[in-house]
Structure 1
Amino acid sequence: MDKYFKGKRILVTGGCQGIGEGLVIELWKHGANVVTISNQPENLKKLKQQYPSIEVAAVDLRNWEQTREIVDSLGVFDGLVNNAGVAIIEPFMEATPSSFDETISVNVKAILNVSQIVAKKMIENKIKGAIVNVSSQASKAALKDHVVYCASKGAVDSMTQVMALELGPHGIRVNTVNPTVIMTAMGRKVWSEQSKREEMISKIPLRRFGEVHEVVNAIMFLLSDGASMISGVKLPIDGGFLAT
């Protein structure tokens, strides 16, 4: 895997914080030509200052046409990671149309949009590429106050399977990773309440939350030729949460 990424062009959405940032840096360390897009221009600027060879572009993934224009302008890629996402936490009885629309727009429609553009160019250039969509254990298990988020991640898993079916004949593999709670800055904040934290950890056989590098390692594998016969898979990174 060390040599696989050298010179490969990889696009990562939402790559300037959390899992996305960890992935972008790891790909860069392995010699990939990394491009990341995000709606956080200040964080993109900081990333660019630290890693000048990483290409960045600011885009609001909720804007279908702007996204298509910018992604198309970025050229041809060997791999794509759809990492950008939002999590609006609301009980079922309080979930709003605006929360639903926002979540689906970023977590689902943006994956469709970006992937269409990237896959089209892979096919035109006869690139046997790989796409990894970042889903969640929430696609497979009910989480309290996560009704809209769970729905969006279920859609991601289903869309991934169809992508794998239709893009497979072109040599393009499509998979998801489905993490549990990951200790990003946001994760530490959301799960800082002791009772809430302990309740979730009690459902994880390994009795801990995940770390960013543990998700990054799985994505790197699925992007690489080490996973050359793996497509349409939903890979839990959950310490056994879904096994219980």
Structure 2
Amino acid sequence: MDIRFDGKRALVTGAGKGIGYGIAKALAAGGAETIALSRTQADLDRLNAESPDIRTVCVDLADWAATRKAVEELGPIHLLVNNAAVLNYTKFMEIEEAEIKNTFDINVHAVVNVSQVVAQGMIARGKGGAIVNLSSIAGRIVVKNAPSYTASKGAIEMLTKVMTEELGPHQIRINNVNPTGVMTAMGKKLWPDRVASEPMMRRTPQGKFAEVKDVVHAVMFLLSDQSDMINGASLFVDGGVTAV
């Protein structure tokens, strides 16, 4: 399946590293005018060095006003990937206010903020668009010792459904991609060897974690016209974890 995005402008949040980095590069390779957003300028500089055609924007998504202003200044966006997220491992009884606030500011509130601006433009132009929210298997099943993250991804699951109901009449499609553990640089630190990863492997029929490319392929499909009638769905890239 040849997926192209020529003539379209795409925005990816959390594009400085990991999954977002891969998505931004894939969109640019597919012909989209791509904008990468991150709070870390050094990460954006590295991305830009590899892909000079990608436009970069440095802003902290936890800052509602600054984020809104930055996105409003970008102009028309046809494709949006809400990828940015933070993950903390803290037991429920040990969560502090700063952690839960920051988690929801980045993982949920920023999705609302950025999507409102982008969708407003899509509605005004009357030509629809596509939004993909990066959720997680944690939106459906318990991830031990990660209650803030799990709660935020559960919120994204329902937020996507609400967005679908409200924006669908404007031909704006919103879908989730729900990965299992992904072998980004962070993933390799969390699961450095078979011993560390064994509990999750026992829950995974395919017996392996996802690679960045696996998630990127799912996102590209849901952004493309090939998925024109897929709306409000959650696509699990998890090797069968949630099936069993």
Q: Secondary structure at the match of 1:25?
A: helix
Encode CA deviations 1:144-164: one digit per residue, 9 max, x unaligned.
101111000000110000001
**Cα deviation, residue 2, structure 1:** 3.4
Q: Distance in 1 between matches of 2:181 and 2:50?
A: 27
Question: 1:40–1:81: structure 2 CA closer, same or farther, 3 Å change rule?
Answer: same
Question: 1:149–1:102: structure 2 CA closer, same or farther, 3 Å change rule?
Answer: same
Q: In the alignment, is the contact (CA less than 8 A) between 1:4 and 1:225 conserved in 2?
A: no
- Following superposition of structure 1 onto structure 2, how do residues 143-158 of structure 1 map, counting pairs within 5 Å? 143-158=143-158
**Cα deviation, residue 194, structure 1:** 4.0
Unaligned runs of 5+ in 1: none
In structure 1, give the amino acid aligned to 2:18: G
Q: Which residue of 2 aligns with 1:217?
A: 217
Q: Distance in 1 between matches of 2:3 and 2:140?
A: 34
Q: Which residue of 2 aligns with 1:176?
A: 176
Question: 1:202–1:3: structure 2 CA closer, same or farther, 3 Å change rule?
Answer: closer
Q: In the alignment, is the contact (CA less than 8 A) between 1:137 and 1:238 conserved in 2?
A: yes
Encode CA deviations 1:111-146: one digit per residue, 9 max, x unaligned.
000000000001101121000000000011111101
Q: Secondary structure at the match of 1:239?
A: coil
Q: Distance in 1 between matches of 2:161 and 2:167?
A: 10
Q: Distance in 1 between matches of 2:55 and 2:237?
A: 28
In structure 1, give the amino acid aligned to 2:58: A
In structure 2, give the amino acid aligned to 1:188: K
Deviates more, 1:10-19 or 1:191-200: 191-200
Identity of aligned pairs, percent? 46
Q: Secondary structure at the match of 1:205?
A: coil
Q: Which residue of 2 aligns with 1:10?
A: 10
> Is it true that 1:89 corresponds to 2:89 in the alignment?
yes
Residue correspondences, number: 244
TM-score (norm 1): 0.98
TM-score (norm 2): 0.98
Q: In the alignment, is the contact (CA less than 8 A) between 2:3 and 2:221 conserved in 1?
A: no
In structure 1, give the amino acid aligned to 2:209: F
Q: In the alignment, is the contact (CA less than 8 A) between 2:82 and 2:132 conserved in 1?
A: yes
Q: Secondary structure at the match of 1:219?
A: helix
Q: Secondary structure at the match of 1:145?
A: coil
Encode CA deviations 1:165-219: one digit per residue, 9 max, x unaligned.
1000000000000100000000000112543311111100000000000000000
Q: In the alignment, is the contact (CA less than 8 A) between 1:38 and 1:60 conserved in 2?
A: yes
Question: 1:95–1:3: structure 2 CA closer, same or farther, 3 Å change rule?
Answer: closer
Unaligned runs of 5+ in 2: none
Alignment root-mean-square deviation, CA: 1.0
**Cα deviation, residue 3, structure 1:** 5.5
In structure 2, give the amino acid aligned to 1:71: V
> Is it true that 1:227 corresponds to 2:211 in the alignment?
no
Q: In the alignment, is the contact (CA less than 8 A) between 1:18 and 1:212 conserved in 2?
A: yes
- Following superposition of structure 1 onto structure 2, how do residues 44-193 of structure 1 map, counting pairs within 5 Å? 44-192=44-192
Q: In the alignment, is the contact (CA less than 8 A) between 1:2 and 1:30 conserved in 2?
A: no
Deviates more, 1:160-169 or 1:49-58: 49-58
